[in-house]
Every structure is written in structure tokens, then in C-alpha cells.
Chains A and B, each alone.
Chain A
Amino acid sequence: MIQNVSRRAFLGAMGAAGLILVVGCERRASAAGEPKYGADSMPHGWVDNPLAFVAIGADGTVTITCHRSEMGQGVRTSLPMVLADELEADWRRVRVRQATGDEERFGNQDTDGSRSMRHFFAPMRRCGAAARNMLEQAAAASWGVPLGEVEAVNHEVIHRPTKRRIGYGELAAAASRLPVPARDALRLKNPSQFRYIGKGEIGLVDGPDIVTGRAQYGIDPVLEGMMFAVVARPPVYGGKVASYDAAAALKVPGVVQVVEIPGTPPPSEFQPLGGIAVIARNTWAAIQGRQALKITWQDGPNAAYDSTAYRATLEQAARAPGEVVRNQGDVAAAMSSAARRVEAEYYIPHMAQAPMEPPAATARIVDGRCEVWTATQAPQATRDRVSKRLGLPFDRVTVNVTLLGGGFGRKSKPDYVVEAALLSRAMNGAPVKVTWTREDDVQHGYYHTVSVERLEAGLDAAGKPVAWLHRSVAPSIASIFGPDSQHEAPFERGMGLANVPFLIPNLRVENPAAQAHTRIGWYRSVSNIPHAFAIQSFVAELAAAAGRDPKDYLLELLGPARRIDPRTISDSWNYTESPVLYPLDTGRLRRVIETAAQQAGWGRKLPAGQGLGIAAHYSFVTYVAAVVEVVVNGKGEIAIPRIDVALDCGPQVNPDRVRSQIEGACVMGAGNALVSEITFKAGRVEQSNFHDYQVARINVAPRDIRVHLIASSFDAPLGGVGEPGVPPIAPALCNAIFAATGKRIRRLPIRDQLAASSGSGA
């Protein structure tokens, strides 16, 4: 609870005088049984207490705490900027400090689901407004004038009638003795008064450190007496060490110790896979030592996992009825009376997040307290798993959150941090840094699911669908947390599978069973990737079958603008948001489609081998459409000269960072479509590094990415930004390839499927 925040701890942590200290304000309790949505529904919800987030030094320096993890989305700039704006702080005098994992104090810190700004825009505004009010009160009291005569402007409080001014630094001590104003009494700025919000004019707070090499990531801590470790992990999920011989490893110069880490049988959740760790005086010696280990593995039940065979298994499952996710009308009857039937199967493989900084963590245990330094999207879960695994009370574990060298969902799972903690304990508490090599990252990840999406449609004589059947078959992320239900969880079904917003009278969605044989995990945009790829490809296939323009056909399927309660289309999840505040608005989806098409010059004539493709998708309560322009040369090589993306994410707090996220999503989406694939043979990942697990490089990335932001009022609810750009890119690209070549790609990645000798993509 907020009241438990210790004054001393706060002062001590900041090491500065004249801080704003306020009495905590209790969050309104929701009535028992009333469903909670948005930030309220997340563990530890939200906190809007300025005590937790802002401190002002006597020199006027404003220190704002960012409690969400920075992984490239710009959150360490954008969230503090929101607070600073309401505080009327001069950004040049603002410093940003990263919170440790402490959700009791800061509210939810899980940096995933494209939620940071959506859930903390309002609390950060209130933090800033409360602190501003206290500074104004302190100034009014010092002058003996009514509060109504003073106003905070750009780091000073001004007495309007006399033009007297006092700086924030001088006021901080007095302000700190005042009670925090009641939440309901706070005067928030009118958006027209925003100084920074919505402007996109503030550079990244970490920019100067990044370009000079000073930025600190999870792989970078240097502690006195630190050891360096790498771990040999079971090559098959659920496997374990049968026996090992460390003699040769221990002879490698620099190797200090070899330690066995016990694994956790599936479902292994966020626990280490186990294996043999080599601890050395530097990372290189540890890597050399690991190579010298002789280990016999016991592979366990997943030893037969084979991607080729598994694809056939998924296809077979998709060709038979499965668990009904959504059903309206009578699909069977409508299919049998349809003038024409179209069917297609799409395959989307496993992928690895492969953040450029592989997983890494440093841990130290001193006097029964464990401190870790790591790049994590889940500071609270990290602290929890470390404390439980070490058997230490929660409050004796500190998680220092560094910058993340990319996350994309991989760093939501703190198995690597638990490894570091266990190895530090094995070394009597000495600091140990665990580094995952790229091979470790590629071969022991939490992979994007693999799926077969089967679609069938019945068209009437005019080519309009009267029946729609979608069967999605994919192992579920839920399989890492408990017994494998073999079915997609509600949050996966809510990612564009159940909640397809088409006006089709007979519509059925099924989810046949699929068993997981590896760790399945979140990967930027998650299940929206396969669902959007299949649905948006299939719509273009239907348009082609009907001889219609794909953009017009897509708009027709969406029907007129309307606001759909997601519960009425079998989506009870809705990205955790209120179905009333966040209906699925087909008008907004129509608008992004029309905007992207218009901006891209949809319909323009292109030479042979070139084409435009369009796709749209609603995800993370944001609406995105993309038009991809493609060039396919005589050898079947693909270039993407241009993408136009239209995005409606509600209000845009930091438009430049919104644009950069969408640019990045286009590149990642193109990489997913073109080259990225993880495959298994004999239970083992066949790829090992960036030569065989490929990702987009500058020479194949989309060249000109034009992001078109739909304007929105700051009164409107915020949508997500980090993830929703990805899903439409692959289908828009494949639709463009169809327009350019007449070839339909149904299996990702595209790789050399367009090469002259290659068969059809199916």
C-alpha cells in the first residue's frame, strides 16, 4: 500500500534534500464482484501518488521515476514527459530514474501488451498535477496571497498581480510538508496547454548515452569480484542432464567452477531449463569451458518434435471440426447452398524474438539479500521468482532494471535471472553474470507459436461471402503455465480470431487441439500474427475469386461503421479493456483502410512485377492498415520500396515515438514474412545464429515507410502502439506479391518461394 512507503527509504534512495513528500491517497476500491478493466485489472493496478514518482531537489532538479521497462518504445522519455508536462516542469531540468521492481509502490510494471501509456497516461498526469498544486500552495503561503492568484509556469510559480516568481527548488521543502490534494480536486491541464504531450519534440532521454556507448543494458554491469557464466541447457524441452564430466572444462584457463542447475519439468513457466553452468573469470573462458564439457542428455517426451511432421499434424487437425470459439447462423447449410466455395490453409512457423541483447543478468547475495541487475520486462515477476527459488523473503530481493536491448516478449520471462541468482548462491554470494550466447537465445527460447489457419468461405452469385469457417490450430502460451489444454486461451482467441468484425451472416470459428512440444511465449503482437496473416490474405483471395478490388471488398466485409461490443463476437478478453469504453469500432478500421489506400495511391498503375497489397487489423485496441508496394524481379527476389501505414491509436502522447514504433513494426513484420523461421528436428532447434535464423537487414527492409497518424482528441481512450503495427504487414506484403505476380503465398516465411524453380506457396 502507498501508506507503507517509508519516508526514510525515499529520502535515502534519492539522496537529496527538499523532496516532495505527500501522504498517500487510497485508490478507490471497486465494488465486490464488479469486473475490473484496464490498469485496474492488472496485478497491483496503478499508483498516482507523486511521492512514488517525483522528487524535487533544492537546486530545482526534478527527478521523475519511470516504473516501466525501456526496450525501445521510448517509455523512459514518454511517461516522465507526461508527468513533467502536468507539473509545468522545464524538461531540461528533469532527470529520469528507473524504478526497481516494486509494484506495491509503483503499480503494475509488466511492460507488455502495449499497455504502458494506455494504463499510465492518466495516473502520470495526476502525479504531475498534484505536485504542481502543492508547489502553488507553498508559493501562495510564502507570499500570503490567495491560491487563485498564483500559477505554476515552466519551473516557477508566479504571483500574477505582482509578477513575483519563485523557482521550484526554493519551494520544494515547503511543498513537501503539505498533504497531497485529493484526486477529485486536481485541476488537470486543458490539452491546449500541453507543453510536451502530443508534440513529439523531446529527444530520447537515453539518446546521448546510447550514441556514445555509455548506456547500461542488462549485459553491461561490472561489479567488483564478478564472475562470468554461460550455461549448457538441455537441447530438448523437458530434457535433463543424465551425466556429465567437467574435468576438461575445469582445465580451460580462466574457468573457476562448474555447477549443475536443476531444471523444472514442463510446464516450466519462468524457471530455468536447468543444465550445467561454467563459471569463469571472463565470458570467453566460460564459453570455452562450456565447449569442453562432456554431457549426456536425457531428452524426455519431446525428443520426437519435428516441424515437418508437426505441420502435417496441424493440417490434419485443421481439416476436422474443433472446439467452437464462435458460431452464428448455420455455416454448414450456407456452405452447401453457396454458388462457389473457396478454401485455403496458411502456415506460420515458430519464430524467436532474438533481441539484439541476448538474455543476461547479474546477481549478488550479501547477508541474506539478493540484488540483481538485469534487462527485464517483468521486474515484479523477476523479484518473485528469484525470491521463491532462493527461499528468501520477497523484501530481501532487489531487482535493478537496466535498459533492455530489445525485448519483444522474450524478456517477460525471467528464467535467465533465476539462473544468475542460483549461480551467485553456488559461489557463496559472489556476483555472477550470466550471458546467453546467441546460440542459447535461438535454441532455448520461448518461441512464437506455430500454426495452421484453415479458412473456408461460401460465396453467393455476386461473389459476396455468405458463409465463413475459420479453424485455427496452434499450441498455446498457456502450456508453459499449467497442464496443456491444447487449445488457444481466451487472450489468444481474442487476438483477431474470435473477434473478426466481418458482416457475414453465417460465421463459425473453431480451435482444434494442438499439443505444445517446446516453450511457447509472447512474441511482439503474439497470436495476431497468424490470425491477421490468414484472414487478411484470405479476404484478398476471396476478392480475387470474386473479381473485385481487394480494398473495396475488405471494406464491404466490414460493413458500415458501427461499434461492436466485443462480448457479442465471443471476445471476453478485449485486451483487458472495458467493452464499453473500448468497443471494436469498424468505422475506425474503415478509416485507416481508406487513409492508407489514399496515401499510397491505391489503384495506381504499376509495371509488371510490381504490385500493391492492402491489409488491416485491429489489435491492442488500436486500428492499423498497411499498403505495401512490392517489386519482384525475374529471379523471384523481393524488394519493398514503400509501405504506407495508417494508425488510429487514439491520442498520441509522443508522436515521434509512435512513428518510430510503427516503422520498426513494418521492418519486423517484413522480416517475419520474408525470412524468420525456427524449426525443430529430434526435439532440437535446427537454427543457431543469425546465419540460419534470419531477420530483416537494411538491404531487404522496407525502404520508405510513411506513417499516417489519425488525429484524436485527448479525451478519447488510448490504444496500444508497440505491437499493433506488426500484424498487417505480412498479409499486405503477400497480397502485393499476388498483385505483382499472381502467386499466392500461404506459407511463411516467403524466402525463395518466388524463385522460378519453386512451386506454389501452398
Chain B
Amino acid sequence: MSMQLEVNGKVLTFDAQPDMPLLWVLRDLLRMTGTKFGCGMALCGACTVHVDGQPVRACITQVSSVAGKKITTIEAMASDSVGKRVQAAWLELGVPQCGYCQPGQIMSAAALLKHNPQPKDADIDQAMSGNICRCGTYPRIRAAIKRAAGG
């Protein structure tokens, strides 16, 4: 069926089953591949996007449930003031290794900083433990979040 979504400030129209996860709408239908597939069960965080400013796992979010809401993906983070700071910190500290999980990490980190501009270690654990990095960049992720916070 024909559907509409507001993604990164643009209203996009496409055909999809209403129960199709947002992840596959973004990746396969809208061809926005910055949002990554990692598990399909909200276990790894690679698919994290913002829906009305809240971090959600796109892999278990039915597209029909986000109609009329504002969806923000990694592709728009460079034009977001917090997202931009997070991206800069990621580069300054050389966080990425393979980089595959990093869009999701950045989306989670940006959401954290929007709600908690000066997160403590425990806050970082809480907000980021849903995002797996198999390369093991966690120490630099932690440091980069603190840098982006200006701490």
C-alpha cells in the first residue's frame, strides 16, 4: 500500500506492507543505506534512528507505527548541532575501526547528549549498552561522548 514518511525533513512516498520494519523501508525501498542491519531483534543497535527525537531500533519498528512522526537518520546528523559535534569527536579520537556499527552508535550517542548534555559513565553505559561494536571501540566511544559533551 502507498505510504508516506517524513525522513530527515522530507516527505517520501512509497509502497510497503504496513508491518514492514522501518529499517527495510529505509534501506531497500528508500535506498538510504546508512542505517545498518545487524540483528533484526533490537539486540545490537546498528539500526538506531531517531523518531521524534527518541532513539529507536528501526529493525523492529513497523513502518505504520511511525507515520506522521519525524524520522531522523545518520544521513542527517551532519546538519544537527549535537550530531555534528558527535561526528567530529568520533573523527578526532579515531573511534571507528570497521565502522559498520558507528552510525547506530552515533545515533545513540547523539540522543543521549540531547537529553543529558553531561553524561556520567553510568549514563553512558545505560544509553550505549544496546549498541554492539564487535571491533571493540568502546573505550574510544566513551571518550568521544565525553569530548562531544565538552567534558
- Tell me which of B17, B21, B43 contacts A689 (CB under 8 A): B43
- Asked whether, in the complex, the Cβ of B38 is within 8 Å of the Cβ of A356, the reply is yes
5 interchain residue pairs of minimum CB distance: A213-B34, A667-B136, A405-B100, A72-B97, A72-B98
Whether B98 contacts A405 by the Cβ 8 Å rule is yes
A720 and B119 CA atoms in complex are apart in Å by 37
A696 CB contacts on chain B under 8 angstroms:
136, 138
Contact check: which of B28, B34, B124 meets A283 at CB < 8 Å? B28
Give chain B residues whose Cβ lies under 8 Å from the Cβ of A661. 97
Instruction: Please measure, in the bound complex, the distance between the C-alpha atom of A660 and the C-alpha atom of B137, giving whole angstroms.
Output: 8
- Check B27 for interface membership: any CB of A closer than 8 A: yes
Q: B131–A698 contact, CB under 8 A?
A: yes
Q: What is the bound-complex CA distance between A442 and B35, given in angstroms?
A: 21
Is A635 on the interface with B (CB-CB < 8 A)?
no
Query: In angstroms, how far is the closest chain B Cβ from the Cβ of A665?
Result: 7
Q: Is A705 interfacial (CB 8 A cutoff)?
A: yes
B93 to chain A, nearest CB (A): 10
* Interfacial chain A residues near B96, Cβ < 8 Å: 72, 204, 206-207, 210-211
Q: Is B116 an interface residue (CB 8 A)?
A: no
Alpha-carbon gap, A656 to B102, bound state (A): 18
User: A210 and B128: CB pair below 8 A?
Assistant: no
Query: Do A358 and B37 touch (CB < 8 A)?
Result: yes
Q: Which of B32, B73, B102, B136 contacts A668 (CB 8 A)?
A: B136
| Distance A73 CA – B17 CA, assembled complex (angstroms) | 40
B85-109, CB under 8 A of A: which get 1 and which 0?
A: 0010011001011111111001000
B35 contacts A208, C-beta separation under 8 Å: no
- In this complex, the interface size class of chain A, counting residues with CB under 8 Å from chain B, is 35 or more
Contact, CB under 8 Å: B137 / A212: no
Q: How far is the CB of B122 from chain A (nearest CB, A)?
A: 9
Pairwise interchain contact A356-B98, C-beta atoms closer than 8 A: yes
Identify which of A74, A287, A357, A666 contacts B97 (C-beta below 8 A): A74
Query: Which A residues touch B78, using CB under 8 A?
Result: 212
23 A-B interface contacts by CB (under 8 A): A72-B96, A204-B91, A204-B94, A211-B96, A213-B33, A213-B34, A213-B74, A217-B36, A217-B100, A287-B40, A354-B134, A355-B134, A356-B133, A357-B36, A357-B98, A437-B40, A438-B43, A667-B135, A690-B44, A697-B138, A698-B129, A699-B128, A699-B129
Report A70-91 CB contacts with B as 1/0, cut-off 8 Å. Answer: 1111100000000000000000
Which residues on the A side are within 8 Å of B131 (C-beta)?
698
Contact B40 A72 (CB under 8 A): no
Cα(A404)–Cα(B132), bound, Å: 16
Q: Give the docked Cα–Cα distance between A15 and B102 (Å).
A: 32
B25 → A minimal CB distance (Å):
8
Taking a contact as CB atoms under 8 Å apart, the answer to whether B34 and A356 are in contact is no
B140 contacts the other chain (CB 8 A): yes
CA distance A219 to B27 in the complex (A): 10
B residues 120-151 touching A (CB-CB < 8 Å): 121, 124-125, 128-142
Cβ of B67 within 8 Å of any chain A Cβ, yes or no, is no
Residues of A within 8 A of B (CB): 70-74, 203-204, 206-208, 210-217, 219-220, 222, 228, 253-254, 282-285, 287, 354-358, 403-408, 435, 437-439, 656-657, 660-661, 663-668, 671, 689-691, 695-699, 701-705
Given the known interface contacts A438-B39, A697-B129, A697-B132, the answer about A357 and B100 at a Cβ–Cβ threshold of 8 Å is yes
Say yes or no: is B41 at the interface (Cβ < 8 Å to chain A): yes
Task: State whether A698 touches B128 (Cβ < 8 A).
Answer: yes
Contact A660 B94 (CB under 8 A): yes
The CA of A403 and the CA of B101, in the complex, are separated in Å by: 13
Min Cβ gap A180→B in Å is 35
A254–B21 CA distance with the chains assembled, in angstroms: 14
Q: Mask for B41-68, Cβ within 8 A of A = 1, else 0?
A: 1011010000000000000000000000
CA distance A204 to B97 in the complex (A): 9
Max chain B C-beta neighbours (<10 A), residue from A71, A403, A438: A438
Please name the residue on chain A nearest to B131 by beta carbon: A698
Does B10 have its Cβ within 8 Å of any Cβ on chain A? Answer: no
Q: Cβ of A698 and Cβ of B36 under 8 Å apart? A: no
Cα A591 to Cα B145 with chains together (Å): 35
* B136 contact from A358, A407, A701, Cβ within 8 A: A701
Q: Does the CB pair B98–A698 fall under 8 Å?
A: no
| A206 and B99 contact, CB distance less than 8 A | yes
Tell me the smallest distance from the CB of B80 to a CB of chain A, in Å.
Answer: 11
User: Cβ of B39: which chain A residues have Cβ within 8 Å of it?
Assistant: 438, 689-690
Q: Is the interface of B mostly helix, strand, loop or mixed?
A: loop
* A406 contact set on B, CB distance < 8 A: 98, 100, 134-135
Residue from B44, B75, B134 within 8 A of A212 (CB atoms): B75
- The docked-state distance in angstroms from the alpha carbon of A697 to that of B138 is 8
Report yes or no: A663 in contact with B24, Cβ–Cβ below 8 A.
Answer: no
**Residue tally, chain B, CB below 8 Å to A:** 57
- Chain A, residue nearest B97 (CB): A72
Query: In this complex, what residue of B is CB-closest to A74?
Result: B97
User: A203 contacts B125, CB within 8 Å?
Assistant: no
Q: How far is B33's CA from A712's CA once the two chains are assembled, in angstroms?
A: 42
**B139 contacts A702, C-beta separation under 8 Å:** yes
A212 B77 Cβ-Cβ under 8 A: yes
Q: Are A405 and B132 in contact (CB under 8 A)?
A: no
- Give the contacting residue for B87; candidates A212, A282, A283, A404; CB below 8 A: A212
- Does A356 contact B28, Cβ atoms closer than 8 Å? no
Q: Say yes or no: A283 contacts B125, CB within 8 Å.
A: no
Taking CB atoms, residues of chain A closer than 8 Å to B124 are 698
Tell me the complex Cα distance, A697–B101, Å: 12
Q: Is the beta-carbon distance between B98 and A71 smaller than 8 angstroms?
A: yes
Contact B97 A356 (CB under 8 A): no
Cross-chain contact B139 with A405 (CB below 8 angstroms): no
B132 touching A695 by the CB < 8 A rule?
yes
* B37→A213 contact, CB < 8 A: no
> Once the chains are docked, how many angstroms separate the CA of A665 from the CA of B138?
11
**Contact present for B139 and A703 (CB under 8 Å):** yes
Most buried by B among A74, A211, A216, A666: A211
Given contacts A405-B100, A406-B100, A691-B43, contact A72 B27 (CB under 8 A): no
Residues of B close to A695: CB separation below 8 A: 132, 134
User: In the complex, A74 Cα to B135 Cα: how many Å?
Assistant: 12
Indicate if B20 sits at the interface (CB-CB under 8 A). Answer: yes
The interface residues of chain A lying within 8 Å CB-to-CB of B20 are: 282, 284
A287–B40 Cα gap in the complex (Å)?
11
> Looking across the interface, which residue of chain B has its beta carbon closest to that of A219?
B37
Pairwise interchain contact A667-B77, C-beta atoms closer than 8 A: no
Contact status B40-A438, CB under 8 Å: yes
Interface: B31 (CB within 8 A)? yes
Q: Could you tell me the distance between the alpha carbons of A690 and B124 in the complex, rounded to whole angstroms?
A: 20
In addition to A204-B96, A665-B136, A703-B139, 12 A-B residue pairs with Cβ atoms within 8 Å of each other are A207-B90, A212-B34, A212-B78, A213-B33, A213-B77, A356-B98, A403-B98, A660-B140, A668-B134, A689-B41, A701-B136, A703-B121
Instruction: Identify which of A254, A284, A405, A705 contacts B99 (C-beta below 8 A).
Output: A405
Asked if B94 and A656 sit within 8 Å, CB to CB, the answer is: yes
Across the interface, B31 reaches (CB within 8 A) one of A71, A222, A437, A697, namely A222
Partner of A666, one of B43, B125, B134, B136: B136
Min CB distance B1 to A, Å, is 10
A462-B75 Cα distance, complex, nearest whole Å: 66
Residues of chain A contacted by B33 (CB below 8 angstroms): 213, 216, 219-220, 222
Are the C-beta atoms of A698 and B125 separated by less than 8 Å? yes
Does B12 sit within 8 A of A, measured CB to CB?
A: no
Q: Bound state CA distance, A212 and B33, in angstroms?
A: 11
Q: Which of B31, B32, B36, B142 has the most CB of A within 10 A?
A: B36
B24, A283: Cβ atoms closer than 8 Å:
yes
Q: Which residue of B lies closest to A217 (CB)?
A: B100
CA–CA, A489 and B121, complex, Å = 45
Residues of A within 8 A of B41 (CB): 438, 689-691
The interface residues of chain A lying within 8 Å CB-to-CB of B77 are 211-213
Task: Looking at the assembled complex, report how far the CB atom of B141 sits from the nearest CB atom of chain A, in whole angstroms.
Answer: 7
Q: Which of B35, B44, B97, B132 contacts A213 (CB 8 A)?
A: B35
- CB atoms of A284 and B21 under 8 A apart: yes
Q: Contacts of A358 on B, CB cut-off 8 Å? A: 37-38
Asked if B3 CB lies within 8 Å of chain A CBs, one says no
Bound-complex Cα distance A215 to B97 (A) = 12
CB distance from A303 to the nearest CB of B (A): 27
